Amino acid sequence: MPIDAHEANRRSWNAVTPAHQSHKRDQAGFLRAGGSTLFPDEVELLGDLRGRRLVHLQCNCGQDTLSLARLGAEVTGVDIADLAVEEARALSAASGIPARFDRADLFDWFVDARTRGRRFDVAFSSYGFLGWLSDLGVWARGVADVLEPGGRFVGLEFHPFAFVFGPSWDRAHPYQTGGVALEEEVGVGDYVGASGDALAPSGFEEGVVGFENPHPTREFAWGVGDLLTALLDAGLVLEVVREYPYANGWRGFEGMAPLPGQRWTVPEGTPALPLMLGVVARKPR
């Protein structure tokens, strides 16, 4: 397992977290008042969460995790970035929404959870999780290990095919690399600032301007087949595979056309492309 890649990515996420958070106005008040950072698509895939134990893998700063708790789940969030987990814990305390947040490399967390016998009804991953996974087989087996029999993995991700393109729709990246890391000279960017209120439902602040991340990343290009095969090889049963012609909150390319509900699609006159991928897989009883 390329720990050096994981450590490089931890540094990059720590660097960008203050910039991301600087654009979000009074998140605690927003959540206390009943606000949610979730989109309808993940709520639909997740189904009824009342009384369910849910682990949110790669939870970032915890806004979605706490929104899931508001739906009745008992939630645990896991993330590699120290500052993100600090922000998540602070937001939980300030909003009054109970949650547990674990700061850990996800692959180490799986080992610890398996050793301690920790189990969940739902494992959830969303929006940008796939490219940080250095070994899909290890990841999928870890997911299966922490699910109760009958439990479900629910994933909603930006479509792997979309990442073939750079910001100006040039063909910039390979579709899949078989686990070989792509060394990116530019670290994690301030996509929250670039997306405006679409990723700041509590209210957008100008915040940090012109952020440049000094810590490069090591990312991984996995295709749809890679993801589905890893889940199947881990013994999970696919229940839903869904492609969406829009991206929730993320304006990742030039000229994207807005849709209702803070969604973005391809520029007018461009043939439809898959921009998100939804997956539900169940652990047999």
Nearest to 171 by CA among 162, 159, 160, 182: 162
At residue 230, what are phi and psi to the nearest 5 degrees? -60, -45
pLDDT > 70: percent of the chain: 99
Q: E strands of the chain, at which residues?
A: 53-57, 74-79, 100-103, 120-126, 147-158, 181-184, 217-220, 237-244, 247-248, 257-259, 263-265, 276-282
Provide the pLDDT for residue 132.
96
Summarised one tens digit per residue, pLDDT across range 225-254 is: 999 999 999 999 999 999 999 999 998 899
What's the chain's Rg over C-alpha atoms? 18
DSSP 36-71: ----HHHHHHH---TT-EEEEET-TTSHHHHHHHHT
Summarised one tens digit per residue, pLDDT across range 189-225 is: 999 998 888 889 999 999 999 999 999 999 999 999 9
Tokens, residue 89: 């814990």
75: amino acid identity, one letter: V
Provide the pLDDT for residue 148.
98
Q: Is 249 helix (H, G, I), strand (E, B) or coil?
A: coil
Q: Using 50, 70 and 90 to split pLDDT, how confident is the model at 275?
A: very high
Provide the pLDDT for residue 3.
56
Q: Is 86 helix (H, G, I), strand (E, B) or coil?
A: helix
Tally: H helices and E strands in the chain: 9, 12
43: amino acid identity, one letter: V
| Domain boundaries 3-282, CATH class | alpha beta
pTM of the model as a whole: 0.95
Summarised one tens digit per residue, pLDDT across range 64-118 is: 999 999 999 999 999 999 999 999 999 999 999 999 999 999 999 999 999 999 9
- Given a cut of 80, whether residue 63 has pLDDT beyond it is yes
Spatial contact of 257 and 268, defined as CB atoms under 8 Å apart: yes
Spatial contact of 248 and 257, defined as CB atoms under 8 Å apart: no
Residue recorded with tokens 């700061």: 103
Provide the pLDDT for residue 2.
53
Mean pLDDT of 131-158: 98
